[in-house]
Each structure stands twice: as C-alpha cells, then as structure tokens.
C-alpha cells in the first residue's frame, strides 16, 4: 500500500464527507493505493455515524472511536499503530489542510529520501492572537531542538513508515513529532510550503493554553532526551557543585571566626552569620540532588527502555 492518511478529529461531522471525497479524488488521479484512518477522539456529535457511512461506501475508509476525549497525540498514536502504508500522511479534519499537497509530499519521501516532511503554512488565515504566539513558539522550538522548521505544529505532515513505528506520541507531544523522530535517529527532516485554508465548518478546538503547555512539553522532551538514561549526569553534577560550594562557604565562615579570635578582634558566633545558613542550605540541597540522581540511576537501570535502540538494518 502506498499511502495511509491518518485524520484525528473531534466534532467535525460536517467536514468529513467533503474531506473524504477530496482525498479520494487525489488518490485516484495519481493511482495511489491507500487507506484513510479517521480517529474520532471522543466526538460528541455524529462524527462516528458519518465515518461508519463512509466506510460502507468506500473500503479504503477505516475508523477508530475513543470512548472519551484524550487529545490529538493519543489519536495520532493509535492511527500510527494501525497504518499500513509505506508513507503516512497526517492532516486535520477541518479542511484547513489541503489534500492536493499529498502527491508532492509522497514524492519527497519516496524519491527525495526524506524521513519526515512537515508542512509550512506560510500564509495563514488565522487571527493575530494565534499567529503571533505561534511564531514565538516556533522560534523557541527551533532554538531548543536544532531543527530548522517554520511550523512545528502544522497538522499536515508526511512520514516514512519506519518513523511512525519507531516513536511514541503521548500527552501533547504531537507538536514535537519532528524532535521525537530526530531523537530516534531519523535526521533527514524537510519542509514544504503548503496551502492553508480558512475554516469552513465549526470552531477551533484549541485555546491559548496550548502555548503554555507547549513550552512545558518542550522542556520535558529536551530534558528526557538529554538525561533520561543518565540522570546522574544532571542531578549528580549539579548536586556535587552545590555541596562543594556550600562546604567551602562553611569553611570560610569558620576560618573568619578563628582569625578574628586569634587577632583579638570582635567576632560573632558562627550561627549568628546568615552566610552559615546559606552554606548549610546549599549543602543540604546538593545532597538531595545527588540522591535524586542516584535514585534516577536505579530506576533507569531497571527500566525496560534502557537498552532499546532503533536498529535500521541487520545482516
């Protein structure tokens, strides 16, 4: 099978028939063998009834229905598990992503050798309250991940099958699938300018809180990518530095008192100095951080993921 199209959706019943007809036309015009996997993420409208009807009319249509709303990442993850095509295309169900882009995306994967191609909605039909935070978010993501993409959160993406079978999308990590792919060893990541269309039906399902959550998720991914297997390298180093700094400070405070006593100058008790308590606090925090790193190492040692690597080929 050439292509699997994975479409996560939440209350998009009105747009599904038009989206299906559009995808089907593009596939037939290019003689692609394909499947369309609609993932209803706990929709409360009649989206599932529409999917059932489409599946009876077209054998290429498959559907997955969640009992409740889990989010876009779990929906994508389930779609990736079921996908059988050599190239997996993801797009939103609101008709803002154009299926006309599919042939070129497929070509970039199969002929140009990309592992992942992300869409870039260079011209957007969104309000300024959405586009300005999006630009700031993408700039931060480029800096942290080292991946030069303009639009990390674009729903229209193409993947080599190996990519979607090698990564786990969870929480709200769908924004960072390129970073997940890069961490798994798929480094040939490209970008394509795609057409963005104004929403035709319904309303957006995302609020401004996604930008706050997005930054937190980015920090989480960066930290786990760097230190998940070797937590002592972070906590142990930081804890050791703080403990040494605190210990040296205690010595300095004590030495200052001894020098004052020896020279006959006025002196205060060590416990009357605020620096003593700051140094003691630094030593305690340093010890706790070191213990956190040690416990993290114990957890990592017993983790089933500690020796899980992405093998490309084997003879």
Backbone angles phi and psi of 190, in degrees to 5? -115, 180
What separation, in Å, do the N-terminal and C-terminal C-alpha atoms of the chain show?
Answer: 26
- Looking at 189, 209, 227, the residue that finishes a domain is 227
pLDDT tens by residue, 262-289: 877 777 777 778 888 888 999 999 999 8
Q: Which residue has the tokens 């001894």?
A: 258
Domain count, the chain: 2
* Pair (44, 154) in one structural domain: yes
Distance CA 47, CA 58 (A): 16
In-domain check, residue 173: yes
In-domain check, residue 310: no
Pair type for strands 87-90 and 157-160: antiparallel
In-domain check, residue 314: no
C-alpha of 34 from chain center: 27
* Pair (125, 54) in one structural domain: yes
pLDDT tens by residue, 212-257: 666 677 777 777 666 666 777 788 888 999 999 999 988 888 887 7
- Looking at 193, 227, 261, the residue that finishes a domain is 227
* Pair (222, 250) in one structural domain: no
In-domain check, residue 278: yes
DSSP 167-193: ----TTGGGGHHHHHHHTT---EEEEE
Q: What is the structure's pLDDT at 265?
A: 73
* Pair (101, 10) in one structural domain: yes
- Is residue 32 within 8 A of residue 65, CB to CB? The reply is no
* Pair (255, 217) in one structural domain: no
In-domain check, residue 20: yes
In-domain check, residue 266: yes
- Is residue 6 within 8 A of residue 79, CB to CB? The reply is yes
In-domain check, residue 315: no
Token pair listed for 85: 């095509």
* Pair (168, 19) in one structural domain: yes
- Looking at 162, 197, 227, the residue that finishes a domain is 227
How many helices and strands in the chain, by DSSP H and E? 10, 7
- Which DSSP helix (H) or strand (E) runs through 236? helix 232-263
* Pair (253, 201) in one structural domain: no
* Pair (53, 166) in one structural domain: yes
* Pair (156, 39) in one structural domain: yes
Which CATH number do you get for residue 196? 3.90.550.10
* Pair (130, 30) in one structural domain: yes
- Is residue 163 within 8 A of residue 115, CB to CB? The reply is yes
What is the block-wise mean pLDDT of the chain (315 residues), using blocks of 10 residues? 96 95 97 97 94 96 95 93 96 93 97 96 69 79 88 93 92 87 92 82 61 69 69 83 91 82 75 84 91 79 59 65
Q: Torsion-angle region of residue 98: left (phi > 0), alpha (psi -120 to 50) or beta?
A: beta
What is the span of the domain harbouring residue 252? Answer: 232-301
Tell me whether residue 308 is exposed, middle or buried, using C-beta atoms within 10 angstroms of its C-beta: 0 to 12, 13 to 18, 19 or more.
Answer: exposed
* Pair (141, 251) in one structural domain: no
In-domain check, residue 258: yes
Q: Which residue has the tokens 């798994």?
A: 184
Q: What is the structure's pLDDT at 204?
A: 64
Distance CA 64, CA 41 (A): 8
Distance CA 313, CA 39 (A): 32
Short-list 161, 210, 138, 153, CA closest to 6: 161
* Pair (62, 31) in one structural domain: yes
């Amino acid at each position: 099978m050439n292509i699997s199209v994975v479409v996560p959706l939440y209350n998009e019943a009105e747009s599904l028939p038009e989206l299906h007809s559009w995808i089907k036309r593009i596939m037939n015009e290019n003689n692609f063998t394909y499947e369309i996997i609609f993932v209803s993420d706990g929709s409360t409208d009649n989206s599932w009834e529409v999917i059932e009807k489409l599946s009876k009319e077209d054998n290429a249509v498959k559907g997955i229905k969640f009992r409740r709303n889990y989010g876009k990442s779990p929906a994508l993850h389930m779609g990736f598990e079921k996908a059988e095509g050599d190239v997996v295309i993801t797009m939103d169900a609101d008709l803002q992503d154009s299926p006309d882009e599919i042939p070129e995306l497929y070509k970039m994967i199969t002929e140009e050798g990309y592992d992942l191609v992300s869409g870039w909605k260079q011209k957007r039909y969104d309000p300024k309250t959405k586009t300005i935070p999006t630009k700031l978010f993408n700039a931060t993501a480029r800096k942290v991940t080292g991946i030069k993409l303009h639009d990390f959160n674009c729903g229209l993406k193409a993947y080599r099958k190996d990519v979607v079978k090698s990564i786990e999308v969870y929480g709200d990590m769908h924004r960072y699938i390129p970073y997940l792919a890069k961490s798994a060893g798929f480094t040939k990541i490209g970008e394509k300018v795609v057409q963005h269309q104004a929403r035709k039906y319904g309303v957006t399902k995302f609020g401004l809180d996604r930008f706050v959550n997005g930054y937190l998720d980015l920090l989480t991914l960066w930290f786990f990518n760097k230190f998940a297997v070797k937590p002592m390298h972070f906590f142990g180093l930081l804890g050791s530095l703080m403990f040494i700094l605190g210990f040296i400070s205690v010595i300095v405070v004590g030495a200052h008192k001894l020098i004052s006593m020896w020279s006959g100058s006025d002196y205060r008790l060590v416990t009357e100095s605020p620096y003593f308590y700051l140094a003691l606090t630094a030593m305690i925090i340093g010890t706790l951080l070191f213990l956190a790193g040690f416990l993290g190492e114990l957890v990592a040692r017993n983790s089933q993921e500690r020796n899980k690597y992405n093998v490309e080929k084997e003879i």
